[in-house]
Amino acid sequence: MPAEVRQYVADTNGGRYELHRPIGRGGQGAVYTCKGNPRIAIKLNHAAGDGQSEVLRQRMAMVKRMDLDGLPISRPVAMLARPHVGYVMELITDMEPISRLLSPPSGVASVKEWYRKGGGLRRRLRVLHRLARVLSSVHGRGLVYGDPSPGNVLVSQELDSDDVYLIDSDNLRYSSRPEKGILFTPGYGAPELVLGHTGMNTLTDSHAFAVIAFQVLTVCHPLLGDAVLDGEPAMEEMAFQGRLPWIDHPSDTHNRCRHGIPRGMVLSRVLATTFEQAFNAGLNSPADRPGMTSWAEALQTASRATLVCPSCGWSFYFTGAQCPDPDCARPRPRHAIATVGIWDRSGSGQGELCMGPNRRPLIVGSSVGSETHPLSLTREQLGLSDAKPEVALVVRLEGARIAASCTAADCVMTVATIPGSPIRELTEASQAFRLTSPGSSLYVHCGGIDTRHRVVRISVKEGAES
């Protein structure tokens, strides 16, 4: 919509709105912000008609009855009055479409710089993890989101935040009541939707999510290789129908892509495997696709394994020996690795770490941090009662010492330099500890030492330059 053309719509309650900027375009229409009211957005459908208006009214009534409590999903507020077809929805401020993170604006001088300014790899992984969690919760409530696309997933404008918010909720469906009708945003519809073989379901949601995730991380579309981008429009159709190999297919090179961030810079081994599963075996076999819970786990593990380069700010996996930006290549900095295990007091003595089937300590999660970016472990990681994603333990590297603080008021944390021997209680004020010898670890027990609880083992690894 050209900026100089003012367009107004009204709702059936008499409210009048001036359309401002399009946030995104989906399968059926576009969503606009509303001039003078940042808490409202307008969904305007392409085609008008009484039949379509009635269908939309019924859908909105259904969405209003759904259990969306606690989920960051916009609710419909009111229907638009004729001649328009659409509705008014809630919006929260300071959010922008995730599309801003998946392709640089035209004319941008350096894709690398644009990627870094968007929060780099670490923030992209965190945002995608949050989105995967939301979609997983939607599926867990027996619902299907319907049309995940870069235009209806909003992310916080603040780089420190990984909040997401879904709009365009009229596509929500009950998974127990599959509906016919083809609806998807071009580029994000699973092949079986594009071909009209099925309606929307949790596995079509998973496909759309996987495409968005791949684009956000690598800045290229998983199905659009050079052969498609340089070919006839029919090639694109074939790609979206699942008739071409995906761009990183391990053996079929017909659809390779010369664009995008090198995968080794942004995909962990687990993420690379999960994408391969989604776009190779899972492309035309929905049951083989990773579900949203698998995505959430893979993305969370990946985000917690990233370090931020102290020289250039690019974030990368701590398994790499140096910053992967060839223009920087600074050796990996000194960093702390926190592994979370389970402490069992059921035996004799001080208790011990629970062992896994391979006779090694059972690890329930891990995180890394550096001198510039402290480690933050959440209540969820530490197994605290409400399992919220709030930070409960902060660990900083301070020269030769490790400083730690407990930010969970309801949890007693004690610190030991030898497993099982508590020496000091952690408080909200940061306390510094010195490791007893090189290669030793600090143990933070989360919860009463007399009960089964989680324990965090913190080890320090010298930088690759040392």
Tokens encoding 437? 């010898």
In the complex, least distance from residue 119 CB atom to Zn ion, rounded to whole angstroms: 15
- The residues that bridge with 341 in the sheet, in sequence order, are 363, 455
**Comparison of 295 and 314: residue with beta carbon closer to Zn ion:** 314
**Comparison of 116 and 454: residue with beta carbon closer to Zn ion:** 116
In the complex, least distance from residue 103 CB atom to Zn ion, rounded to whole angstroms: 23
Residues 37, 397: Cα–Cα separation, whole Å = 45
- The residues that bridge with 403 in the sheet, in sequence order, are 396, 432
**Comparison of 145 and 314: residue with beta carbon closer to Zn ion:** 314
**If you search the block for the tokens 């690398």, which residue do you land on?**
112
**If you search the block for the tokens 């599926």, which residue do you land on?**
139
Task: Check binding of 311 to Zn ion (CB under 5 A).
Answer: yes
In the complex, least distance from residue 308 CB atom to Zn ion, rounded to whole angstroms: 9
**Comparison of 325 and 344: residue with beta carbon closer to Zn ion:** 325
**Comparison of 32 and 314: residue with beta carbon closer to Zn ion:** 314
In the complex, least distance from residue 279 CB atom to Zn ion, rounded to whole angstroms: 30
Angle between helices 269-276 and 202-218 (to 10 degrees): 130
Residue 387: φ, ψ to 5° = 55, 35
**Comparison of 330 and 452: residue with beta carbon closer to Zn ion:** 330
Q: How many helices (H) and strands (E) does the chain have?
A: 11, 24
Site string for Zn ion, 378-417 (x = CB under 5 A): ----------------------------------------
**Comparison of 328 and 412: residue with beta carbon closer to Zn ion:** 328
**Comparison of 208 and 309: residue with beta carbon closer to Zn ion:** 309
Other C-beta atoms closer than 10 Å to the C-beta of 438 total 8
In the complex, least distance from residue 465 CB atom to Zn ion, rounded to whole angstroms: 12
Q: Of 44-52, 186-194, 301-309, 405-413, which segment contacts Zn ion by CB under 5 A?
A: 301-309
**Comparison of 332 and 379: residue with beta carbon closer to Zn ion:** 332
Residues 167, 151: Cα–Cα separation, whole Å = 9
Tokens encoding 113? 């710089």
**Comparison of 331 and 422: residue with beta carbon closer to Zn ion:** 331
In the complex, least distance from residue 41 CB atom to Zn ion, rounded to whole angstroms: 39
Contact 395, 338 (CB under 8 A): yes
In the complex, least distance from residue 173 CB atom to Zn ion, rounded to whole angstroms: 45
3-state helix, strand, coil in the chain (%, to 5): 25, 25, 50
In the complex, least distance from residue 466 CB atom to Zn ion, rounded to whole angstroms: 17
Other C-beta atoms closer than 10 Å to the C-beta of 436 total 11
SS3 324: coil
Residues 322, 309: Cα–Cα separation, whole Å = 9
Q: Of 35-43, 250-258, 309-317, 362-370, which segment contacts Zn ion by CB under 5 A?
A: 309-317
Name residues whose C-beta falls within 8 Å of residue 297's C-beta, 6 or more positions apart in sequence: none
Task: Check binding of 436 to Zn ion (CB under 5 A).
Answer: no
In the complex, least distance from residue 374 CB atom to Zn ion, rounded to whole angstroms: 19
Site string for Zn ion, 312-351 (x = CB under 5 A): x-x--------x-x--x-x---------------------
Q: Is the dihedral of CA 46, 50, 55, 56 positive or negative?
A: positive
Strands (E), 102-248: 143-144, 153-156, 164-166, 173-174
Task: Check binding of 309 to Zn ion (CB under 5 A).
Answer: yes
Other C-beta atoms closer than 10 Å to the C-beta of 420 total 16
Site string for Zn ion, 65-104 (x = CB under 5 A): ----------------------------------------
Q: Of 6-14, 242-250, 265-273, 307-315, which segment contacts Zn ion by CB under 5 A?
A: 307-315
**Comparison of 345 and 461: residue with beta carbon closer to Zn ion:** 461
Residues in the interface with Zn ion (CB under 5 A) total: 8
In the complex, least distance from residue 395 CB atom to Zn ion, rounded to whole angstroms: 23
Residue type at 343 in one-letter notation: W
Other C-beta atoms closer than 10 Å to the C-beta of 437 total 7
Which helix H or strand E contains 306, and what residues bound it? Answer: strand 306-308
SS3 350: coil
121-180: which residues touch Zn ion (CB under 5 A)? Answer: none
In the complex, least distance from residue 329 CB atom to Zn ion, rounded to whole angstroms: 7
207-266: which residues touch Zn ion (CB under 5 A)? Answer: none
Which residues here bind Zn ion, judged by CB under 5 A?
A: 309, 311-312, 314, 323, 325, 328, 330
